[in-house]
Structure 1
Amino acid sequence: MPETAIVWFRRDLRTHDNEALAAAAEADRLLPVYCVAPRRTGDRSYGGPESFRYRKVGPHRARFRRESLAALRSRLRDAGSDLLIRRGRPAAVLPELAAAAGAETVAFHALPGPEERAISAETVAALRDAGRSTRRFWGRTLHHVADLPTPYTQIDDTFTPFKDRVEADVPIRATLSRPSVPPLPAADDPDVDPAALDPGDLPSVASIGGGDTAGSRDLDDPAADAAGPDDRGVHPFPGGEAAALDRLSAYLWEGDHLREYRETRNGLLGANYSSKFSPWLNEGCLSPRRVHEEVEAYERDRVANDSTYWLRFELRWRDFFQFQVLKHGRQFFAPGGLRRREDVDWRWDPTAFERWAAGETGIPFVDANMRELDATGYLSNRGRQNVASFLTNDLGIDWRRGAAHFETQLVDYDAASNYGNWAYIAGVGNDSRERAFDVLAQARTYDPDAAYVTHWLPELEGLSPEQAHAPWTLSADEQAAHGIELGTDYPRPMIDPTTSGDDPV
């Protein structure tokens, strides 16, 4: 009797360098499956002390995920297979499907977050009870978890020692070739229920984002859920493996942008100030090891410099947060963070939070970034740091609220990187140094011509760069001359802008 396996796709929506797919493809028959789990979407409780409700997945990531699933299905169909879409908890779906298709084993990638690990454990237990075996693999990071110099439970909680150890001691495994995909189980096999082979419909953007549940302003509007990329954004970010590999080639080889990455990475406008790989990395359409191998080839063929090193450095930052959340679990998301701080009295002011989220703080650099996030689901690294600092250090609002808002909005959301960076800025994460940003000074440094601010705040066009960054300095006559009235056309600042960067907590 031919052996049949299931490969359970999660956040590894690719066929290249996919160990779970490669292992499952050793079987005679293969059933690729993706589960749309309802408890992972929609409006939900954050959990833990001082919980609040928020929306897990907003329209930007929902659109990107649907496109990625469509692209994976298309690639598998081209290979003579298919991607089955099922709705429900994997612990319920996979044992039933394995029984209906006569599958003996299920292969999948482990993920580091506590919710993801709980889903894995529940699913493995259900499959074991159903008499099915599982094969678990690790494919989330540049460095394999099994290759770390210490067990992940003992890695350093500060980035630099971690980076130094892995750079010196940990080799990067070679990528796996795209496997030859076996056929689906035969519909006329007496041990196979033909209904098990129904591919199912791709989920809608609305269903991935939780349908019509409330949670974040305007995100339950069907028109918002169906909207395509905003043409003001830095990149349209089409989902899928082919789009990921196209971007990798365009950034490194066609545009030759990597040679200047270290100098341009703090940019704010345009597609090529940074790699923009993060949406594909975080949805698993692109392997970090594939990026590393392309960078190595670029260094051999073009140039090896600080910029090529720095891209790999950023991949190790990503690794660091993946291993940190694996090590610390739920404490990673607690109000006091990894440092278990109890001396911070986080406040909750819904009006102030909504002004921040809507880009109506009256501080143009903050507002421009928040409007870009709302419209496109993406922000530069510089922008993320500044708006996070403003919310936590200037307004004193619970960092988890901001991180949860990013979870809703970001097209490239990853739990480890998102919450790790927010905690870092808020002073409860992996570094004890102050991370309060002087937002006005940052604006003048990184947007000296106010091109970014006026791109997203067109009501400030026509002002000098200094006026655009500090419109509250305009006299009544200057406001009249420029046709802008503070408090009507653009908000007055909600704090004294000269105090930005003074950490109140």
Structure 2
Amino acid sequence: MSKKILVWFRNDLRLHDNEMLVEAIAKSDSILPVYILDRRSFGETKYGTLKTGNIRAQFILESVLGLRSSLKQIGGNLLIAEGNPEDIIPQLAQEYEITEVYHHREVAREETHVSTLVENALWKLRINLKHFIGHTLYNKEDLPFPIKDIPDAFNQFKKKIERDSMIKPCFAAPDRINVAEVIDWGVLSSLEELNLLPQQKDQRADFEFVGGEAEGLAHLQKVIAAMQQAATTKNLILASKLSAWLAMGSLSPRKVYWEIKKMEGVPNTKAMFNHILLGLLWRDYFRFMFKKYGNTFFSPDGFGSQGLIDVVNEQDNFNKWKNAQTGFAVVDAVMTELNQTGFISNIARQTAALYLINNLEVSWVFGAAYFEEKLIDYNPASNWGNWANVAGVGNDQKSKSVFDLDKNIKNLDPKGNYSLTWAS
């Protein structure tokens, strides 16, 4: 009997640097690439927000279709289904006589719960679910410490990992693929079928995100070109805006690292290189912290105790904040940009968070849930980890005194141009 491996794609929508895909091709006669649109990811949260808003949903759909296109170019395809993975994957496994299922391991509670349900269902069929790790710059097994001993302080984590660990080379993208015979590869739902409306482009936005591996790789090359141009300007730091493709796994963090490292010898690019590398390290840090501490990051009190909550006015204050109606110009500008584009800078995120928590006295989890709905580059570990840190309930308690609203506003909008541009 021929060996068939089902490759379950989730937030790893790429061919390049994908160990799971490379091993599946090497160890099988044919593979069945599958993506499952789980409607639970588009429902409502207990905070009255959506799990996934229209801007990120559009980016997800584009990313999935981008993967299908990439697979078709090497002789394959992507089976697209809709429903619960724990129901669909066992059905596909039986229908196509699958011998093993491959997927990338996640770290947040909802994603890991779905993995467990799938694993249990497959176990009943005596089919193994093999886990891969491919979301981080540094592999877990290459860390200089076990997960339980990872330093809580980011600076210690960064120092030790850069000194004692190595970043592995990327896996080459396959140039051909042999897939199972499928009569109907499926159709991806539209935004409207997900009960969402397309976002009208805001003319104030200076950048447009389009999902998919090809788009992500093309944007990475634009970032590198910008770094080359920066050779004439000392210490220029540009916003790379790679995070959305990293969140969907359309770009590998290792691919980003090795591509920008090629610029290492070019004068005046070190600041930009360090800026991008720092972002990749923060992504790793929060992912490993979720692996270490699990669901503590979703608790309002986290690793400490959150501050004062204006219980009487909390919902009203939250609504004003998310609708850009606080009356505080910079914060309203930040929220307008977020609502219209799905992306804001890191300092803008901190500014909005500090105002919601300290000035409006709303529990930080409301803000984290709203960012989950709106951010095009949302991933659970970075979003909830960063919000917990700003709220002073993160695992690194030394970071409590780091955040300063007035200082942030001066850096974000020193001349008031930002507030004027994004006035709601």
Which residue, 300, 303, 307 being the options, matches 1:335? 300
Structure 1 residue 303 displacement after superposition: 5.5
Q: Which residue of 1 aligns with 2:17?
A: 17
Q: 2:174 aligns with which of 179, 197, 200?
A: 179
- Say which SS state the counterpart of residue 107 (structure 1) adopts: strand
Match of 1:344 in 2: 307
Shift, 1:252, TM fit: 1.0
Distance 1:15 1:334, change over 3 A: same
TM-score, scaled to structure 2: 0.93
- Describe the shift of the 1:228–1:360 C-alpha distance in structure 2 as closer, same or farther (beyond 3 A): closer
Aligned CA distance change for structure 1 residues 206 and 346 (closer, same or farther; 3 Å): farther
Shift of 1:263: 5.5
CA distance in 2, matches of 1:63, 1:117: 24
Aligned mates of 1:258, 1:140 — CA distance in 2: 29
Moved over 4 A (4+): 257-265, 301-304
Aligned pair partner of 1:201 in 173, 184, 187: 187
Alignment partner, residue 318 of structure 1:
283
Q: 1:430-475: CA deviations, max 9, x gaps? A: 2333245334x543443233221111117xxxxxxxxxxxxxxxxx
- Cα distance in 1 between the residues matched to 2:45 and 2:369: 11
Aligned mates of 2:226, 2:412 — CA distance in 1: 27
Which one-letter code corresponds to 1:438 in the other structure? L
**In structure 2, what residue type is equivalent to 1:8?**
W
Aligned-partner Cα distance in 1 for 2:178–2:109? 34
CA RMSD of aligned residues (A): 2.1
Of 291-300 and 239-248, the range deviating more from structure 2: 291-300
Secondary structure of the corresponding residue to residue 25 of structure 1: helix
Match of 1:416 in 2: 381
- How many angstroms does 1:262 deviate by? 9.8
- Any conservation in 2 of the 1:251–1:257 contact (CA below 8 Å)? no
1:497 is aligned to none
Q: Which whole-Å deviations, capped at 9, do the CAs of 1:91-148 have from their partners, x for residues lacking one? A: 1111110111121111111111122111112211211211212221100100011111
Alignment of 1:279-318 (within 5 A): 279-300=244-265, 305-318=270-283
The Cα shift of 1:86 comes to: 0.9
1:214-363 aligned within 5 A = 222=196, 225-253=197-225, 256=228, 265=237, 273-300=238-265, 305-337=270-302, 339-341=303-305, 344-348=307-311, 349-363=314-328
Gaps of 5+ in 1: 46-51, 187-195, 213-221, 266-272, 459-505
Residue 392 of structure 1 is aligned with which of 348, 351, 357? 357
* Residue 98 (structure 1) aligned with residue 93 (structure 2): yes
1:353 Cα offset (Å): 1.1
> How many angstroms does 1:90 deviate by?
1.2
Aligned position for 1:373: 338
Cα distance between partner residues in 1 of 2:403 and 2:277 = 27
Name the SS for the 1:55 alignment partner: coil
Contact 1:333–1:419 at 8 Å: present in 2 too?
yes
Give 1:314 deviation, angstroms.
1.9
SS at match of 1:56: coil
Q: What is the match of residue 438 of structure 1?
A: 405
Q: Distance in 2 between matches of 1:232 and 1:300?
A: 36
% identity of equivalent residues:
35
Deviation of 1:308 after TM superposition, in Å, equals 1.5
Aligned-partner Cα distance in 2 for 1:261–1:363: 35
Residues 307 and 78 (structure 1), Cα distance of their counterparts in 2 relative to 1, 3 Å cut: closer
In the alignment, structure 1 residue 114 sits paired with structure 2 residue 109: yes
Indicate the residue corresponding to 1:28 in structure 2: 29
Supply the distance in 1 between the matched residues of 2:411 and 2:150 (Cα, whole angstroms).
36
Once the two structures are overlaid, the 10-residue window that deviates more, 31-40 or 4-13, is: 31-40
Please tell me the residue identity of whatever aligns with 1:21. Answer: L
Within 2, Cα distance between the matches of 1:262 and 1:377?
31
- Between the aligned partners of 1:351 and 1:4, the Cα distance in structure 2 is 54
1:354 Cα offset (Å): 1.1
Residue in structure 2 matched with residue 426 of structure 1 by the alignment: 391
| Secondary structure class of the residue paired with 2:45 | strand
Amino acid across the alignment from 1:146: E
Q: Take 2:243 and 2:232, find their aligned partners in 1: how far apart are those partners?
A: 18
Equivalence for 1:478? none
Q: Secondary structure at the match of 2:34?
A: strand
Amino acid across the alignment from 1:319: D
Partner of 2:65: 70
Tell me: higher relative CO, structure 1 or 2? Use CA pairs within 8 A at least 6 residues apart. Answer: 2
Residues 257 and 202 (structure 1 numbering): CA distance in 2 closer, same or farther, change over 3 Å? Answer: farther
Moved more, 441-450 or 382-391: 441-450
Structure 1 length as normaliser, TM-score? 0.79
Distance 2:232 2:106 in 1: 33
Distance 1:240 1:374, change over 3 A: same
1:255 Cα deviation from its structure 2 partner: 5.6
Residue-by-residue CA offset, 1:136-195 (whole Å, 9 max, x unaligned): 110010001111111112211110111111000110111000024432223xxxxxxxxx
SS in 1 for 2:118: helix
CA distance in 1, matches of 2:290, 2:86: 23
Q: Write the distance in 1 (CA, Å) between the matches of 2:187 and 2:226.
A: 36
Q: CA deviation at 1:2?
A: 2.5
Deviation at 1:363, TM superposition (A): 1.2
Distance 1:56 1:444, change over 3 A: same
SS at match of 1:322: helix
**Is the contact made by 1:28 and 1:183 (CA closer than 8 Å) also made in structure 2?**
yes
Task: Give 3-state SS (helix, strand or coil) of 1:319's partner.
Answer: helix
Task: State the 1:395 CA deviation.
Answer: 1.5
Answer yes or no: is the 8 Å Cα contact 1:25–1:181 preserved in 2: no
Structure 2 distance, partners of 1:421, 1:257, is 32
Structure 2 residue 44 is the aligned partner of structure 1 residue 43: yes
Alignment-derived partner of residue 501 in structure 1: none
- Give the Cα–Cα distance (whole angstroms) in 1 for the partners of residues 250 and 386 of structure 2: 22
Match for residue 364 of structure 1 among 320, 329, 342: 329
- Whether the aligned pair in 2 keeps the contact of 1:7 and 1:33 (CA below 8 Å) is yes
Counterpart amino acid of residue 385 in structure 2: G
